[in-house]
Amino acid sequence: MYQQKKQAELDEWKAEVEKLKAKASGASAEAQQKLNEQIEALESKIEKGTAKLAELADAGEDAWESVKNGIESAWGSLKSAVSDAMSKFKS
C-alpha cells in the first residue's frame, strides 16, 4: 500500500514535468532555458525517488523502517521542488 501510494505520487510528478516540458517548447529562449534547468533538476530528483522506492521494495523487514525514513526525506524535497517549479511557471 505504501509503495503504491509513493509510486502514484511519482507518476503524478512525472506528469507535471511533462507539462513543464510542453511550456518550455513554446517559451522564449530565456524562459526556455530556465524551464529546462528546472526540468533537469526535477528529473534528477524523480530518478532518486524511483531509486529509493526500488530500495524499499528490496529492503528486508528489519531495514524497512530505515529505508522508509530515507524515502520520506527524499519525498519532502521532491514534493517541494515540484510545487515550486509549477508555481513559478504557471501561466
* pLDDT higher than 60, residue 82: yes
Query: What residue spans define the domains of the chain?
Result: 34-91
Name the pTM for this structure: 0.75
8-55 tens-digit pLDDT: 999 998 998 898 888 888 888 888 888 888 889 889 988 988 888 888
Which cell is 34 given? 530556465
Indicate the DSSP class of residue 26.
T
Give the mean pLDDT of 61-90.
79
**What is the reported pLDDT for 90?**
66
Name the average pLDDT for the chain: 84
pLDDT tens-place string over residues 55-75: 877 877 777 777 778 788 888
Long-range contacts of 8-17 (CB under 8 A, 24+ apart): 9/75, 9/79, 10/46, 10/49, 10/50, 10/53, 13/42, 13/46, 13/49, 13/78, 13/79, 13/82, 14/46, 16/42, 16/82, 16/85, 16/86, 17/42, 17/43, 17/46, 17/82
Contact (CB, 8 A) for 6 and 75 = yes
